[in-house]
Amino acid sequence: MTIDTIPKTDAKKAPAAFDVERIRKDFPALSLSVYGKPLAYLDNAATSQKPESVIEAEANWYRESCANVHRGVHALSVRATAAYEGARRKLQGFVNAADAREIVFVKGTTDAVNLVASTFAKSRLDPGDEVLITGLEHHSNIVPWQLVCEERGAKLRVARLNDDGEVDMEEFERLLSSRTKMVAVSHISNSLGTINPVERMIELAHARDVPVMIDGAQAAPHKRIDVQALGCEFYAISSHKMFGPTGVGALYGRLDLLASMRPYQGGGEMIRTVSFESTEYAEPPARFEAGTPNIAGAVGFGAAVDYLLAIGLDKIEAYEEGLLAYATEKLSAVPGVRLIGTARHKAAVLSFVIDDVHAHDVGTILDQEGVAIRTGHHCAQPVMDRYGVPATSRASLAFYNTREEVDRLIAGLAKIREVFGV
Ligand code: C6P
């Protein structure tokens, strides 16, 4: 199935052209006020707000189709199964996978990385082997690899960053060796917004027959994803960062690899036959979906995919590029502000520090102004260490944000400088 053949969202709900004011009306949370001020939600990398169509899809599933999947012959169960498998096909189209069986519903990106590390990688790692990641990774794309390396006597290698927050590609290439059994890299960094040259990374890894997992948690809300064009073995995404519900995500895995992997967890639905002597596993994706899945979440995730595709990822990317350029220019002009992460290719994230002001104070004062950002290490402590800071303030953008909201961030920073006399 290609992106063009994906079932489209109800045309009445889909914005005709990229019109940010029109789009904002689809998101109930964007008209909230905090402390009597309109909410400027600039914490989208942590989680995104949800359009009415997603909220309705999930609520309607509970109202009209609530039953377990793949288990019952009754009408409601058949309807629930159709909705769940329909969502899988939507995800297949979204990442342009060749086959719907290559989409495994998981809890999110963290779950997906743990699945691949503890099944695929674990069976391939011997003592002395290596897993290569980069200095940009979120803890979710570090700790699962550390766990499996520890267990198998393997070693985690890390390609370092330059001062702009880009992966040193010479070192990345140098670290790929006959010992490398797995490469795992983020498509877009959550802490700095750097867009990694994943095409080149995959090419370099494949030249040495090394499989690649991409952590796409921060890419899927901003870019068109095409796993066939990328040629990666695994790609992980989280629904909640893509304007869908929390608690669900998708792992793309190449079918022949999924079919060769041991299950992640045992339980109902992941088996073909069970006896006390032996168990025969189901084919993928069921093999990796033990127990009752997050059915309502998957249906809402499917609706989020419909919503994103109805707007168009290319339009989203173009709009956000303009907004990021605007915000970068404004932020760079604020005295005492230092941007952390100035890569040539960036998306949606502005991480910064202000002289002599702790990031938590920045976040708290901005909150009083109605501006929501995230402060801290962003689950990427090694990135903070790289820049010698304990924390940054991070404004992260989505297609529903506006220049006016960026201006409010900048005005809030002026207030902070006044309060702290910096
Ligand atoms: N980053 C942030 O504020 P989960 O929580 O499983 O949906 O996603 C984990 C994850 C993995 N990789 C990247 C690049 C991420 O950004 C995240 C989640 C959030 O930056 C919450 S820590």
Residues 347 and 228 both lie in one domain = no
**Residues 20-31: pLDDT tens digits?**
999 999 999 999
Residues 214 and 97 both lie in one domain = yes
The confidence score (pLDDT) of residue 408 equals 98
Within 10 angstroms of residue 251's Cβ, the number of other Cβ atoms is 26
Question: CB of 81 within 8 A of CB of 74?
Answer: no
**Ligand 1: which of 137, 379, 383 to mutate, most ligand atoms within 8 Å of CB?**
379
**Residues 300-329: pLDDT tens digits?**
999 999 999 999 999 999 999 999 999 999
Residues 295 and 330 both lie in one domain = no
CA distance 408 to 365: 12
Active-site residue identified among 66, 149, 232, 379: 379
Q: Which residues pair with 372 in a beta bridge?
A: 41
In a domain, 175, yes or no: yes
Q: Domain containing 234: what range?
A: 55-310
Q: If you measure from the C-alpha of residue 81 to the centroid of ligand 1, how many angstroms do you get, rounded to a whole number?
A: 29
Residues 323 and 217 both lie in one domain = no
Residues 8 and 133 both lie in one domain = no
Q: Which tokens sit at 265?
A: 């967890």
Residue that finishes a domain, picked among 293, 310, 327: 310
- What phi-psi label fits residue 341: left (phi over 0), alpha (psi between -120 and 50 degrees) or beta? left
Per DSSP, 301 falls in state H
Whether the predicted pLDDT of 9 surpasses 50: no
The confidence score (pLDDT) of residue 28 equals 98
The confidence score (pLDDT) of residue 71 equals 84
Give the CATH number, domain containing residue 345. 3.90.1150.10
Whether the predicted pLDDT of 17 surpasses 70: no
Give the residue, by CA position, lying nearest to ligand 1 atom 21.
46
Residue 38, helix vs strand vs coil: strand
Instruction: Give the mean model confidence (pLDDT) for residues 267-278.
Output: 95
Q: If you measure from the C-alpha of residue 394 to the centroid of ligand 1, how many angstroms do you get, rounded to a whole number?
A: 14
In a domain, 110, yes or no: yes
CA distance 251 to 118: 14
Query: How many CA atoms are closer than 13 Å to the CA of 96, on its beta-carbon side?
Result: 15
Whether the predicted pLDDT of 159 surpasses 80: yes
**Residues 162-206: pLDDT tens digits?**
999 999 999 999 999 999 999 999 999 999 999 999 999 999 999
Within 10 angstroms of residue 332's Cβ, the number of other Cβ atoms is 13
In a domain, 47, yes or no: no
CA 191 to chain centre: 12
Instruction: Give the mean model confidence (pLDDT) for residues 85-93.
Output: 98
Residues 60 and 136 both lie in one domain = yes
Is 379 a known active-site residue? yes
Residues 299 and 335 both lie in one domain = no
Q: If you measure from the C-alpha of residue 340 to the centroid of ligand 1, how many angstroms do you get, rounded to a whole number?
A: 19
Number of domains in the chain: 2
**What ligand 1 atom has the least distance to the C-alpha of 240?**
7
Torsion of CA 111, 91, 399, 232, to 10 degrees: 70
Strand 371-372, strand 40-41: pairing: parallel
Whether the predicted pLDDT of 11 surpasses 80: no
**Residues 113-142: pLDDT tens digits?**
999 999 999 999 999 999 999 999 999 999
63-to-79, 181, 243 alpha-carbon distances in Å:
12, 47, 21
Residues 11 and 153 both lie in one domain = no
**Residues 195-222: pLDDT tens digits?**
999 999 999 999 999 999 999 999 999 9
